[in-house]
Amino acid sequence: MARQPAGWRVGVVSSAKSSGLNISLKRPPRLRRFGRFATFYYCPLQVLAILLLFCSSAHAADLLIQGATLIDGTGKAPLAGARILIEGNVIRRIWSGAEPAPSVPPGTQVVDARGKFVIPGLIDSHVHYRPYMGEMFLAHGVTTIYDLGNPLAWQTAVKKGLNSGNIRGPRFYFCSGITIGNEPDGAAAAGALASRNLAAMKSPADAKQAIAALKGKTDCVKLTEDVKGDFFTAIAREAHAAGMTVISHSLNAID
Q: Using one digit for the tens of pLDDT, what is the confidence trace for 87-98?
A: 987 889 999 987
pLDDT tier at 249, thresholds 50, 70, 90: confident
CATH number (domain holding residue 38): 2.30.40
Q: Are residues 112 and 138 in the same domain?
A: no
Structural domain that includes position 200 = 123-249
Q: What share of the chain is helix, strand, coil (3-state, %, to 5)?
A: 20, 35, 45
Q: Are residues 86 and 193 in the same domain?
A: no
Q: Are residues 112 and 130 in the same domain?
A: no
Q: Using one digit for the tens of pLDDT, what is the confidence trace for 165-198?
A: 899 999 999 999 898 875 544 444 444 455 578 8
Q: Are residues 114 and 153 in the same domain?
A: no
Report yes or no on 4 lying in a domain: no
Please give the Cα distance from 206 to 189 (Å, whole number): 18
pTM for the complete prediction?
0.67
Q: Are residues 135 and 114 in the same domain?
A: no
Please give the Cα distance from 114 to 136 (Å, whole number): 26
Report the number of distinct structural domains present in the chain.
Answer: 2
Q: In the prediction, which pLDDT does 3 show? A: 40
Q: How many CA atoms lie within 13 A of 139 on its CB side?
A: 9
Q: Are residues 164 and 144 in the same domain?
A: yes
